[in-house]
Amino acid sequence: MEMTPRQRWLALLEGKSADRIPTDYQATDEVTTRLLRDLDCNNEEALWRRLHIDCRRFVEPRWQRPDDCKDPEADMWGVRFRLVDYGTGTYDEPELKPLAQVESVEQIHAHHWPDPDDFDYSVISRALEADDGYRPIHAGCYEPFLLYGYLRGLEAAFEDLALRPELADAILGHIFDFYYEHHRRIFEAGSGVKSGARIDLTWVAEDLGAQTGPLISLPMYRRFLLPNQIKMAELARSFGIHVMYHTDGAARIFLPDLIDRVGIEILDPIQWRCPGMEREALVAEFGDRIIFHGSIDNQQTLAFGTVEDVVAEVRESVEIYADARWICGPCHNIQPVTPTENIVAMYETIHKV
For residue 263, the domain's CATH number is: 3.20.20.210
Q: How would you write 251-299 as a 3-class SS string?
A: CHHHHHHHHHHHCCCEEECCCCCCCCCCHHHHHHHHCCCCEEEEEECCC
Contact 240, 201 (CB under 8 A): no
Name the domain count of the chain.
2
Q: Distance between alpha carbon 91 and the CA centroid of its chain, in Å?
A: 17
- DSSP secondary structure letters along 169-192: HHHHHHHHHHHHHHHHHHHHHTSS
Q: Distance between alpha carbon 127 and the CA centroid of its chain, in Å?
A: 21
**Which of 236, 267, 298 corresponds to the end of one domain?**
267
Residues with Cβ within 8 Å of 170's Cβ and at least 6 positions away in sequence, in order, are 105, 108, 109
Contact 23, 327 (CB under 8 A): yes
The CA distance from 27 to 322, in Å, is 26
Contact 305, 342 (CB under 8 A): yes
Question: Which region holds residue 243: left if phi is over 0, alpha if psi is between -120 and 50, else beta?
Answer: beta
Q: Are 343 and 298 part of one and the same domain?
A: yes
Question: Would you give per-residue pLDDT tens digits along the chain (353 residues)?
Answer: 899 999 999 999 999 999 999 999 999 999 999 999 999 999 999 999 999 999 999 999 999 998 877 788 999 999 999 999 988 889 999 999 999 999 999 999 999 999 999 999 999 999 999 999 999 999 999 999 999 999 999 999 999 999 999 999 999 999 999 999 999 999 999 997 777 779 999 999 999 999 999 999 999 999 999 999 999 999 999 999 999 999 999 999 999 999 999 999 999 999 999 999 999 999 999 999 999 999 999 999 999 999 999 999 999 999 999 999 999 999 999 999 999 999 999 999 999 99
**Which of 267, 290, 317 corresponds to the end of one domain?**
267
Q: Are 115 and 211 part of one and the same domain?
A: yes
The CA distance from 193 to 172, in Å, is 33
The CA distance from 125 to 139, in Å, is 12
The CA distance from 337 to 250, in Å, is 24
Q: Are 233 and 284 part of one and the same domain?
A: no
Give the pTM. Answer: 0.96
Q: Are 302 and 275 part of one and the same domain?
A: yes
Q: Are 153 and 299 part of one and the same domain?
A: no
Residue-wise pLDDT for 246-296, tens only, equals 999 999 999 999 999 999 999 999 999 999 999 999 999 999 999 999 999
CA dihedral 262, 237, 26, 128 (to 10 degrees): -170
User: Which pLDDT score is estimated for 197?
Assistant: 76
The CA distance from 93 to 41, in Å, is 31
Q: Report which of 299, 317, 211, 209 is spatially closest to residue 258, judged by C-alpha positions.
A: 209
Q: Cβ–Cβ contacts within 10 Å for residue 107, how many?
A: 13
Task: Provide the angle, in degrees to the nearest 10, between the axes of the packed helices 29-38 and 340-352.
Answer: 80
* H/E stretch holding 232: helix 226-238
Q: Report which of 235, 238, 165, 247 is spatially closest to residue 206, judged by C-alpha positions.
A: 247
Residue-wise pLDDT for 50-67, tens only, equals 999 999 999 999 999 988
Q: Are 37 and 90 part of one and the same domain?
A: no
The CA distance from 276 to 253, in Å, is 8
Q: Are 219 and 329 part of one and the same domain?
A: no
Q: Are 298 and 235 part of one and the same domain?
A: no
* H/E stretch holding 103: none
Q: Are 75 and 223 part of one and the same domain?
A: yes
**Which of 216, 245, 267 corresponds to the end of one domain?**
267
Q: Are 290 and 261 part of one and the same domain?
A: no
Domain coverage including residue 335? 1-56+269-353
User: Which pLDDT score is estimated for 48?
Assistant: 98
Contact 102, 108 (CB under 8 A): yes
* H/E stretch holding 90: strand 90-96
Q: Are 46 and 69 part of one and the same domain?
A: no
Q: Are 335 and 200 part of one and the same domain?
A: no
Residue-wise pLDDT for 115-150, tens only, equals 999 999 999 999 999 999 999 999 999 999 999 999
The CA distance from 67 to 139, in Å, is 27
Give 153: exposed, middle or buried? Use CB within 10 Å, 0-12, 13-18, 19+: middle
User: Which pLDDT score is estimated for 194?
Assistant: 73
